[in-house]
Amino acid sequence: MIVTVTPNPSIDRTVTLPAQLTRGAVHRVTSVTNQAGGKGVNVARALTLAGVDTLAVLPAAANDPLITALQAIAVPFQVVPTLEPARINLTITEPDGTTTKVNEPGATLDAATVTALTDVVLAAADGADWVVMSGSLPPGMPVSWYGDVVAQLAAPRCRIAVDTSDAPLAALCESLDRGAPDLIKPNGEELASVLGLPADSLEAAVAQGDPEPVVAAARQLIDRGIGAVLATLGAAGAVLVDRNGAWLATPPPITPRSTVGAGDSSLAGYVRAEVGGAVPPQRLQMAVAYGSAAAALPGTTLPTPAQVDLNAVQVAPISPIPATR
């Protein structure tokens, strides 16, 4: 069982343009789609498509269209009741794959709802293989929430993955002495920012053929207790670093249609491979294959296993650097 947690779920509305977006102009769209979204929901959707036993935990209001959307795609879920409906996140896609996102802040959660969501996550973790917590935090939720839950899940009853950014990621990394996740999945900019590096420095280094700065950055977090770092780097691929080694995966050439959900698909691919008994390089290979497949699909469409081409992803070891503890 994989439990995904989405504190700030959404309805993802994707608008497809027939030409390049022009600021200040009037545009007519070729299509509009609405899908259940939020990063953890996307992970649950991808795993459900792969036949992996999954439960999506999220806050939502009664009769929220988000609930109807989840029911329509047969994703098992458990809802913590809220008073406000889920936010709507707008994605504008252009013919060349350029994606513009406009995200609402989300429904405000009061202290009682935050406590209820925490309790549901802790209860669902019993018997789970993984708890995957993803995305931004909504108004009203303390920025330390991911770190708080990781600390309470620190007993070895399941593995924990966290995929977040900005202040929640910084807060998590500042609380690793209380408990550390088994996996984090930052992109290059997020990994750089949490360590005080220039935002584009890591992805640029890999694009120039040098993954060592990514490995060194990930090692700083592993030395502080995190089990593994899966750093997704866009067209440059991804790097996986754990205590035993580091690997670089190069994606196949694709025609990008939308990058929305690509990182979530990568995380789903990693978890799917891990529960299937794959070793780290194979987990990385499936992660990148899933992310590449998602980027080649429109809107927030997520790939089925038949759309994932493992053999198109090349994985190579990076010189191992032992962790210091």
Domain count of the chain? 1
Give the bridge partners for 228, in sequence order: 183, 242
Which pLDDT tens digit goes with each residue over 24-65?
999 999 999 898 999 999 999 999 999 999 999 999 998 899
Token reading at 81: 């009741």
User: Residue 323: inside a domain, yes or no?
Assistant: no
Identify whether 200 is part of a domain.
yes
The pLDDT confidence band at residue 301, using thresholds 50, 70 and 90, is: confident
**Residue 324 located in a structural domain:** no
Measured between alpha carbons, how far is 68 from 66 in angstroms, rounded to an integer? Answer: 5
Active site residue 264: yes
Q: How crowded is residue 199: how many other Cβ atoms within 10 Å of its Cβ?
A: 12
Residue 50 lies in a domain: yes
* φ, ψ for residue 5, nearest 5 deg: -125, 125
Q: Over the stretch 235-254, which tens digit does the pLDDT of each residue have?
A: 889 999 999 999 999 998 88
What is the DSSP track for 249-309?
A: EEPPP---S--TTHHHHHHHHHHHHHHTT--HHHHHHHHHHHHHHHHTSSTT----GGG--
DSSP-assigned letters across all residues of 155-197: STTSEEEEE--HHHHHHHHHTTTT---SEE--BHHHHHHHTT-
pLDDT digits (tens, 9 = 90+) for 256-272: 877 778 999 999 999 99
Pick the catalytic residue: 12, 129, 264, 309? 264
The predicted pLDDT at position 325 comes to 47
Within-domain flag for 255: yes
Strands 2-5 and 130-134: parallel
For 176, the domain range is 2-318
The number of beta carbons lying within 10 Å of the beta carbon of residue 294 is: 30
- Is residue 268 one of the residues assigned to a domain? yes
Q: Identify whether the C-beta of residue 47 lies closer than 8 Å to the C-beta of residue 69.
A: no
pTM: 0.93
- CATH number, domain of 116, equals 3.40.1190.20
Q: Is residue 56 part of a domain?
A: yes
In a domain, 234, yes or no: yes
End-to-end CA separation in angstroms for the chain: 31
